Chain A
Amino acid sequence: MLNIRICVGTYCYITGGSDLIKIKDQIPEEIKNKVTFIGSACLGCDEEKETSKPPYAKVGDVLISECTEEKLLNEIYSQLGIER
């Protein structure tokens, strides 16, 4: 199972995190049973970088900044080793 963490902290949520949560319900059939979606209060990114770029999500151990549906799916497919 591949863990996908989506930040639902205030900053991430209003800059696009709210849309990222919706991907959970539209996930393609071929990977549906291979991933788990987990919410996170804050992935702790704001403090690490001077200029943080929300929203954040984490696929496995890979942190994605300015995350979009496209970016997130690409990362999931590449980590699962499936051709998109």
Chain B
Amino acid sequence: MLQETNKLFIEVGSYQHNKYGNLVCGDSVLMHKSIKENRTIAVMSDGLGSGVKANVLSTMTASMALNFRIRREPITRTAKTIMDTLPVDSVRNISYSTFTIVDIESDGNAKIVEYDNPSLILVRQNKIIKLDSKNTIIESKLSNTNSENRIIKLSDILLQKEDRLIFFSDGVTQSGIGNWNMPFGWGDEVNEFILDAIKDNIDISARELSRKIVKQSELNDILKPKDDTSCVVFYVREPRKLLICTGPPFTEENDKYLAEIVRDYGGKKIICGGTTSKIISRELNLDILIDLNNVVSPLPPSSKMKGIDLVTEGIITLGSLSSILEQGTPKNLDQKGPHWDMFRMILDADIIDLVAGTKINIAHQDPTLPVELEIRRNVVKKLASLLETKYMKTVNLKFI
């Protein structure tokens, strides 16, 4: 029915915690997702020391690394430029900032560059796989720097479905240092922790896993982290799909086609629109139940239909949804109403299939109506562009 996408989907998540008592984080994490190239890049840098100075160093490093990578500059040149550009620390008399760059192409080929951060971990089928990496020394113009310190590690791997790439700053491995049970810090035990976390919840999202790792390091330091702590996780997985159907098809012959799309869709389903839900109900022989006790003004109530995750009114609800999307993700996600239900489902989805019927409801064009009703096609187009640019979702738009 709808075009199946067999591309690998890559979820990226990160979490950070500042050193105890610091207002800014000395680590920087930057990400870039190119929808056209289907490429995902993430960079993490740990600046020398902590606080504002470290933050400046790591921000400089991370943004240089990211932008060089986007333009596909050679790795050695990137590393050399970064090392030669950073300002020299007045106390320690060195210019230094670590970085890890992960660049994943659409075919699953990942390029990994590591400089002095704890080693990146690849988890495949609940085992830690050792990366086959080669070392490269970056030559320096400055004579006082020790060339042994300027070794970068390069690895190329082909990612498979269900692989996870995990990397973090030394705040994670050194957490808990001096405690009786981990005198030298968390160290390699973090590997066991990661495997256990995945075993406990096989579908754990990248966002959740990175948060879990950072939270545990915070606990290791008894809630007073001794260093800035950051963790980035990549998770290659089956994308979570969401179908949003709105509007009756232009010709009635397509009603059946619309119903088949809804019936055969592998993912969550939302139907927006009274007439649309009537069509689905008629074609698939499903009852619509409207709960009048659950009215959140000013929006018409949502209904229930077997096998459909959410059934709402059409154009007013879509309009409210688009204004939520425009404002950006709020802190409080637990607000009530059909538009909020939709918003939450959208946040959880990776691929969104929008199917919009283009039949115009002439009654909606009546100039005496108390509320202005937009043309569905325009609202849907606006939604699609918001979801793509602002929420990094893959959107397939189809008019019928």
Which of B278, B303, B315, B316 interacts with A39 by CB under 8 Å?
Answer: B303
Please give me the residue from chain B that is nearest to A14 by CB atom. B371
A48 CB to nearest B CB, Å: 12
B91 close to chain A: CB less than 8 A: no
Which of A8, A44, A52, A54 interacts with B300 by CB under 8 Å?
Answer: A8
B290: chain A residues at CB < 8 Å are: 8, 38-41
A28 CB to nearest B CB, Å: 18
Cα separation A58 to B49 with both chains bound (whole Å): 73
Cα separation A21 to B278 with both chains bound (whole Å): 20
Check A24/B316 contact, CB under 8 A, given A14-B370, A18-B298, A42-B278: no
B278 touches A52 (CB 8 A): no
B370 touches A13 (CB 8 A): no
A46 close to chain B: CB less than 8 A: yes
Which of B301, B303, B363 interacts with A46 by CB under 8 Å?
Answer: B363
Q: Which of B272-303 contact A (CB under 8 A)?
A: 273-275, 277-278, 281, 288, 290-292, 295, 297-298, 300-301, 303
Cα separation A9 to B314 with both chains bound (whole Å): 8
B23 CB to nearest A CB, Å: 48
B288 touches A41 (CB 8 A): yes
What is the size category of the interface that chain B forms with chain A?
20 to 34
A42 touches B292 (CB 8 A): no
B288 touches A11 (CB 8 A): no
B275 touches A9 (CB 8 A): yes
Which of A18, A37, A41 interacts with B278 by CB under 8 Å?
Answer: A41
B288: chain A residues at CB < 8 Å are: 40-41
B371: chain A residues at CB < 8 Å are: 14
A23 CB to nearest B CB, Å: 10
A13 touches B303 (CB 8 A): no
The secondary-structure label for the interface of chain A is mixed
B292 touches A6 (CB 8 A): yes
Q: Which of B196-222 contact A (CB under 8 A)?
A: none
A7: chain B residues at CB < 8 Å are: 274
B142: chain A residues at CB < 8 Å are: none
Cα separation A21 to B301 with both chains bound (whole Å): 10
B361 close to chain A: CB less than 8 A: yes
B375 CB to nearest A CB, Å: 13
A79 close to chain B: CB less than 8 A: no
Cα separation A9 to B301 with both chains bound (whole Å): 9
Q: Which of A1-18 contact B (CB under 8 A)?
A: 6-11, 13-15, 17-18
B313 touches A9 (CB 8 A): yes
Which of B274, B316, B373 interacts with A41 by CB under 8 Å?
Answer: B274
B274 touches A8 (CB 8 A): yes
B127 close to chain A: CB less than 8 A: no
B369 close to chain A: CB less than 8 A: yes
B292 touches A15 (CB 8 A): no
Check A10/B364 contact, CB under 8 A, given A39-B301, A41-B277: yes
B36 CB to nearest A CB, Å: 36
A11 touches B363 (CB 8 A): yes
Please give me the residue from chain B that is nearest to A16 by CB atom. B370
A10 touches B314 (CB 8 A): yes
A30-68 vs B: 1/0 string, CB under 8 Å? 000000011111101010000010100000000000000
A6: chain B residues at CB < 8 Å are: 292
Cα separation A21 to B316 with both chains bound (whole Å): 17
Please give me the residue from chain A that is nearest to B363 by CB atom. A11
B313: chain A residues at CB < 8 Å are: 8-10, 13, 41
A24 touches B314 (CB 8 A): no
Please give me the residue from chain A that is nearest to B362 by CB atom. A46
Please give me the residue from chain A that is nearest to B313 by CB atom. A10
A13 touches B316 (CB 8 A): yes
B: residues with CB less than 8 A from A are 273-275, 277-278, 281, 288, 290-292, 295, 297-298, 300-301, 303, 311, 313-316, 361, 363-364, 369-371, 373
9 interchain pairs, CB-CB under 8 A: A9-B275, A9-B313, A10-B313, A14-B316, A21-B295, A41-B277, A42-B278, A52-B363, A54-B363
